[in-house]
């Protein structure tokens, strides 16, 4: 699955996210956030060649999905598998930080 390019304002419910089969990378942030924009090249590099569901969710005050995950800073990347959080990275500045997170999916899949 390719990496999503834009944040969607229509977020799924927490129950819908928890019911997703397989691995899912949740990315919380906004298009106008400088930290979010800076994280896109390392994220694209880390996602290349991986078949991983990527949900890019616009976050902000009163957004229930982000609050359910206690997101405080953007971007926050959360790796999930069938409703279980496997790990997260907050404000990644390098490809390695994202690779380390995504390797949990690689290691669990083998």
For the segment 22-31, what is each residue's pLDDT rounded down to a tens digit?
Answer: 999 999 999 9
User: Residue 92, Cβ neighbours under 10 Å: how many?
Assistant: 22
Phi, psi dihedrals of residue 28, rounded to the nearest 5°? -105, 135
Averaged pLDDT of the chain: 93
- Average pLDDT of the segment spanning 57-74: 95
Alpha-carbon distances, residue 62 vs 58, 59, 66, 105 (angstroms): 11, 9, 9, 30
Answer yes or no: pTM beyond 0.75.
Answer: yes
Which residues make Cβ contacts (< 8 Å) with residue 105, sequence separation at least 6?
23, 50, 52, 79, 81, 86
């Amino acid at each position: 699955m390719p990496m999503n390019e834009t944040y969607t304002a229509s977020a799924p419910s927490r129950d819908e996210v928890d019911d997703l089969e397989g691995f899912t990378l949740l990315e919380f942030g906004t298009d106008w956030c400088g930290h979010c924009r800076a994280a896109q090249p390392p994220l694209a590099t880390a996602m290349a060649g991986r078949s991983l569901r990527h949900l890019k969710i616009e976050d902000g005050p009163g957004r229930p999905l982000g609050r359910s995950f206690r997101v405080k800073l953007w971007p926050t990347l959360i790796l999930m598998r069938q409703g279980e959080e496997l790990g997260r990275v907050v404000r990644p500045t390098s490809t390695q930080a994202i690779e380390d997170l995504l390797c949990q999916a690689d290691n669990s899949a083998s």
